[in-house]
Structure 1
Amino acid sequence: MPRASSLADRLFWPIVAGGVASLWLGPGALAAAGLVVLGLVAHRLGRGGRFRRRVRAIAHRHRETLALRRRQESYVDPYGNEILDGWLRERTYFAERTVLPRLEAEGYGDLIESRWDEILSLVEAASLSVAAPDETEALPEDGLAYERYCAALLERAGWEARTTRAAGDQGADVVAERDGVRLVLQCKRYAKPVGNGAVQEVVAARSYWSADRAAVVSNAGFTPAARKLAAATDVLLLHHDALLELGARRGGRQR
């Protein structure tokens, strides 16, 4: 990456040119050069503010997705602590893949390293700027009730959904159909991120039920191992909030 010009670099030639011109053209040329110098100084000093506004605008454009991902990647452990590890990884991913390329393309690449914490702070603010959905009922505490809760969310989204029997479900807690597409779900009401065992189970369920799509649904996020396996097996990893907007489009590989 080429070295960004410093303020001194930008001012050097206008000052030199103004000084030389004043020898022939008098004080007017020196005054004009002074105005140019002042303009460059003002522009440079305002660069930090423009940088912040640009980051804020990029994050604001994605605020609803960021808010949803924050909810999906956070959970409360049995001791009442809010665990944000998954969300912090997601926040960094967004900053690196979405914010940084735009900043570099717009000439702010030299500010990224020194203002990295500021970038993350602005992304965090955007994720908190959208109010969480108003849940009219408490999240079910036991697994079977959570399965019924997920099936009900799918029904609201236009699916015909039913829970399976506890025995003989072959890894599917919920089977749903819509527009000729069959979906199988593994539903995990956990106090910690879901591992790749749930992904393995729903892959088997997809084959057993001859389903087009398969997903693991949880309130507590997913481990890196689960995400890697889901990406390799074309399994959706979802927070239960996402069920309300889940369409019947086939596919949907997760990163």
Structure 2
Amino acid sequence: MPGQPSLVARLFWIAVAGGGLSLWYGRAGIAASGAGLGLVLLRHLGRPGRFRARVRKVARRHARTLALRRRQESFVDAYGNRILDGWLRERDYFVARTLVPDLTARGFADLCEARPDTIRAIVEAVTDAVDLPEEDAAPEDGIPYERFCAGRLERGGWRTHATPASGDQGADIVAEQGATRLVVQCKRYGRPVGNAAVQEATAAARYWSGDMAAVVSNAGFTPAARKLAAATGVLLLHHDDLDELRPIRAVRSVQA
């Protein structure tokens, strides 16, 4: 652990100090030295347990969010395979950005490096333990899926209207809440959505004078789509997110 003496160094200096004490205090000094050595060893042997407990505590603090993200970032492809790539990226992001800094600050940097599989296993176990409500069944086809998404927005307080089947310039739903206009493109896919959808949503927001632009999908998004969305201000959402979506004024690049 950076900045802390190693176990061997601590035992060495306790033994040295104990030797000095024994010269002055005899058996009492030897006993004190032995007790010190025992305490250091016990604390060291207990580190893995404290490490696991800390991982579990931090993961439980974010358990519901983790469970929702796993649901949102997993999907079944056209061949019936359960695709977890998006969830695995999300889990590793949580580990790298939330867990590892916390554990490092508490002196567990060495165990973070030595036991990454332990961390992942605990995160998965904590996520498994969350009992989420049943997910609304999303329609399989495009237009019913757009209506489904519009309904979720309306539950969140948005006024929605569908765009024409042709000439919509990439917008499937235009929604308003207060003075904010949201332009949405819906993608019911069997694979992650790529960055073309982000480009279309950006163009649609300009055409419809939108303050916010979003791409909504059941199947997650590719890394390229995430990168472009971060640069353009387009929101990448799962349909579960729509109930709680709130207005954000002037997304930076949509109005550019």
* Band the TM-score falls in, shorter-chain normalisation: over 0.9
Question: How far apart are the structure 2 equivalents of 1:198 and 1:126?
Answer: 34
Report the alpha carbon displacement of residue 3 of structure 1 after superposing the two structures with TM: 6.8
How do 1:132-171 and structure 2 match up within 5 A?
132-135=132-135, 137-171=136-170
Give the structure 2 partner of residue 189 of structure 1.
188
Q: Are positions 1:235 and 2:228 aligned together?
A: no
Aligned-pair CA distance for 1:128: 2.4
CA deviations over 1:6-41 (Å, ceiling 9, x no partner): 322211121222233223211111111111111111
TM normalised by structure 1 equals 0.94
| Mapped partners of 1:214, 1:145: distance in 2 | 20
SS at match of 2:209: coil
Q: Which residue of 2 aligns with 1:174?
A: 173
The 10-residue stretch of structure 1 (151-160 or 19-28) with the greater mean CA deviation from structure 2: 19-28
Structure 2: runs of 5 or more not aligned: none
Confirm or deny: 8 A CA contact 2:75 2:84 kept in the other structure: yes
Distance (Å, rounded) in 1 between the aligned partners of 2:211 and 2:23: 81
User: Does the 8 A contact of 2:215 with 2:236 survive in 1?
Assistant: yes
Report percent identity of matched pairs: 62
Gap regions ≥5 residues in structure 1: none
Where 1:248 maps in the other structure, the secondary structure is coil
| 1:117-170 C-alpha deviation (Å, 9 max, x unpaired) | 1111122223223223323x5320100000000000000011111222211211
1:4–1:110: 8 Å Cα contact kept in structure 2?
no
User: 1:183 deviation in Å?
Assistant: 0.3
Residue matched to 2:219? 220
Shift of 1:252: 6.6
- Per mean C-alpha deviation after superposition, the further-off stretch among 226-235 and 66-75 is 66-75
CA distance in 2, matches of 1:7, 1:81: 48
* Secondary structure class of the residue paired with 1:185: strand
Report Cα offsets for 1:88-121 as digits up to 9, x if no partner: 1111111111111111111111111111111111
- What letter corresponds to residue 97 of structure 1 in structure 2? R
Residue identity opposite 2:165 in structure 1: A
1:173 shift after superposition: 0.4
Partner of 1:21: 21
Aligned partners of 2:212 and 2:248 also within 8 Å = no
What is the match of residue 63 of structure 1?
A: 63
Q: Which moved further from structure 2: 211-220 or 46-55?
A: 46-55
Q: Corresponding residue for 1:73?
A: 73
- Per the alignment, residue 37 of structure 2 pairs with 37
Q: Does the CA-based 8 Å contact 2:211-2:251 persist in structure 1? A: no
The aligned residue for residue 204 of structure 1 is: 203
Secondary structure at the counterpart of residue 114 of structure 2: coil
| Partner of residue 129, structure 1 | 129
| Partners of 1:49 and 1:118 in 2: CA distance | 11
Give the whole-Å Cα distance in 1 for the aligned partners of 2:110 and 2:250.
40
CA deviations on 1:59-84 (whole Å, 9 max, x unpaired) are 11111221121112111112211111
What is the one-letter code of the residue matched to 1:194? Answer: V
Secondary structure of 1:113 counterpart: helix
Which one is further off, 22-31 or 231-240?
A: 22-31
1:51 partner letter: F
Is residue 72–residue 239 contact of structure 1 (8 Å, CA) maintained in 2?
A: yes
Give the SS at the match of 2:2: coil
| Aligned partners of 1:164 and 1:173 also within 8 Å | yes
When normalised by structure 2's length, the TM-score is: 0.93
Give 1:220's aligned amino acid: A
In structure 2, C-alpha distance between the alignment counterparts of 1:146 and 1:140, rounded to whole Å: 5
Residues of 2 paired with 1:73 and 1:252: CA distance? 24
Name the aligned partner's letter for residue 171 of structure 1. G
Partner SS state of residue 143, structure 2: helix
CA distance in 2, matches of 1:252, 1:34: 65
Verify the 8 A CA contact 2:211 2:248 in the aligned structure 1.
no
